[in-house]
């Protein structure tokens, strides 16, 4: 097919259509949602928590969390010491073993549409570890920058931070690159000397800072500080180091 980049080992495409085109023909899929789903999952998994993605923010998520005997993350609010949300800062001290349902229209939605293809969550914090782990599954790797949603119509807004995050991961992968994957790597290399500065200046970063979440941007911009690889197992992200074979 024209759009599936199948002649290349390393593929990169945006959002839901990217998952649709690439997941079924790839050995592994990496979901990249830097601000903030993937960053939130990495921090929580690194602490030993179990994260259940949920695609929708409606009342059905309450029953889903109850069915799993799990806590439910709220909409992102100004961070306090109580409750969890999509704010990475909110899960920084989450206890090991915590079961948390994390609704997200981007990272969670994409995660739950990868079918039977092994799925990882990648961000700037764990880009090298995720890349190295992904290559254990095979040579055909799909990296999916999630993007954001425009508030007026819900359509995809390609997001600077996710392109940079995708490029960071791809830069550690071996294999032939599609032009889309090459573009992501080039973007990462152009901005890697000041990731925090550029994340604070991009649209998503400015939005979070305006709402009082500058610390989340700082956590998301930390580069290669973690070897935690969130692996989707039985509809939940777990630290791959803890996986029971």
Q: How far apart are CA 119 and CA 136, in angstroms?
A: 12
pLDDT tens, residue by residue, 168-206: 999 999 999 999 999 999 999 999 999 999 999 999 999
For 47, the 3-state DSSP assignment is coil
pLDDT tens, residue by residue, 45-74: 999 999 999 998 778 999 999 999 999 998
Q: Which residues of 76-103 are buried (b: 16+ CB within 10 A; e: fewer)?
A: beebeeeebbbbbbbbeebeeebebbbb
Q: How far apart are CA 40 and CA 216, in angstroms?
A: 9
Of 170, 214, 210, the residue nearest 196 (C-alpha): 214
């Amino acid at each position: 097919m024209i759009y599936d980049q199948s002649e290349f080992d390393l593929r990169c495409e945006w959002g839901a259509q990217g998952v649709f085109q690439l997941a079924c023909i790839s050995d592994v899929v990496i979901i990249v949602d830097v601000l903030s789903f993937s960053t939130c999952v990495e921090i929580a998994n690194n602490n030993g928590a179990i994260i259940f993605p949920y695609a929708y923010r409606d009342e059905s998520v309450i029953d889903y969390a109850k069915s799993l005997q799990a806590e439910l993350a709220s909409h992102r609010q100004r961070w306090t010491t109580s409750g969890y949300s999509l704010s990475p800062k909110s899960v920084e001290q989450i206890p090991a073993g915590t079961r948390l349902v994390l609704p997200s229209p981007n990272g969670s939605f994409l995660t739950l549409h990868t079918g039977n293809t092994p799925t990882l969550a990648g961000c700037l914090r764990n880009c090298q570890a995720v890349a190295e782990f992904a290559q254990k599954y095979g040579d055909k790797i799909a990296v999916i920058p999630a993007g954001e949603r425009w508030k007026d119509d819900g359509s995809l807004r390609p997001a600077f931070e996710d392109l940079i995050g995708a490029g960071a991961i791809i830069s550690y992968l071996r294999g032939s690159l599609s032009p889309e994957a090459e573009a992501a790597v080039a973007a990462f290399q152009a901005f890697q000397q000041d990731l925090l500065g550029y994340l604070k200046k991009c649209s998503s970063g400015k939005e979070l800072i305006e709402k009082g979440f500058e610390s989340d941007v700082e956590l998301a911009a930390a580069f290669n500080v973690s070897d935690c690889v969130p692996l989707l197992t039985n509809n939940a992200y777990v630290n791959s180091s803890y996986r029971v074979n």
